[in-house]
Amino acid sequence: MTSILVTGVSTGIGHACANLFAERDWKVIGTVRDTSRRPDRLVSGVSLEELDLAIPGSATDLAQRLLDGAGCPDVLLNNAGALQFGALENVSDADLESIYRVNLFGQLELIRAFLPAMRERRAGVIANVSSLGGTITFPFFGAYNSTKWALEGASEGLWHELKPFGIRVKAIEPGYVDTAIWGKALHRDGAATGPEQAQADDSPYAPFMQAMRQFESGITNRTTPEACAEEIMKAIEDRSDRLRYPVAAYARPIVSARRAFGSQAMMRFFHRRWMGPNSG
């Protein structure tokens, strides 16, 4: 039975992936920060392990528990992540360090912990859930998007380094998926929430942030986590050496348009859409 470790299965894409793989008769291990509270509607075939990527060493501890017990999973799906919305000028040092710890350093820690076992058996798949925001940067998502750009770069480096050992690396780039992570940074009605509350309404960025919130709240054609999970499964099962997989709403056309028209032209086009015609 093929085994997979999915990080962050409490909600959203990770939850949907864990259920899908379990229903397709994979051996699924999912991670949550607190194993005493099993996520709602998580199928019984998913076993749980504790992981908090914000804590250095947590990923190494998890990997060692699995290597000592069930063994190295055939597939590592790095899905867990955190979202940050706000002007880079106003993101605190602590918040910036935290999002890099969760979205990049913890992911790399987990990958590195499993690599010796994968190399020894000369097989395995490492699938990193990046983002459409790992190929294009949205205003006021600079902190979050920069972690995804970094994960994209690390994934490409790993693609080269691990190819001689038969280990496939996949960078999954979801577009707009209807998950709870958006609600942690933005309300659908355009109101501020989360860390952004610390940014005063009289901030010089306030009107542009409001325009971006309204743009995001107006996107109704979002892919369900379940449909996104189906696309992720296809990417993982793809035995080719392809690295990047844009999935879910808007990802493929935006990536294609950026390639066709160039990054600067796309930046100018989206700048007016996102921040308004009077934004410079």
**Residues tagged active-site:** 130, 144, 148
The SS3 of residue 269 is helix
Residue matched to tokens 């908090």: 52
Q: Look at residues 89, 235, 250 and name the one whose alpha carbon lies nearest to residue 155.
A: 235
The H or E element that residue 244 is part of is strand 244-247
CA 64 remoteness from chain centre: 23
* 4 in Cβ contact with 28 (< 8 Å): yes
- Tell me the CB-side half-sphere exposure of residue 238, using CA atoms within 13 A: 19
Neighbours of 38 (CB within 10 A): 15
Neighbours of 203 (CB within 10 A): 16
User: Rounded to a whole number, what is the distance in angstroms from the first to the last CA of the chain?
Assistant: 56
Rounded Cα distance, 175 and 170, in Å: 16
- Residue 279: which residues within 8 A CB-CB, separation 6 or more? 208, 211, 271, 272
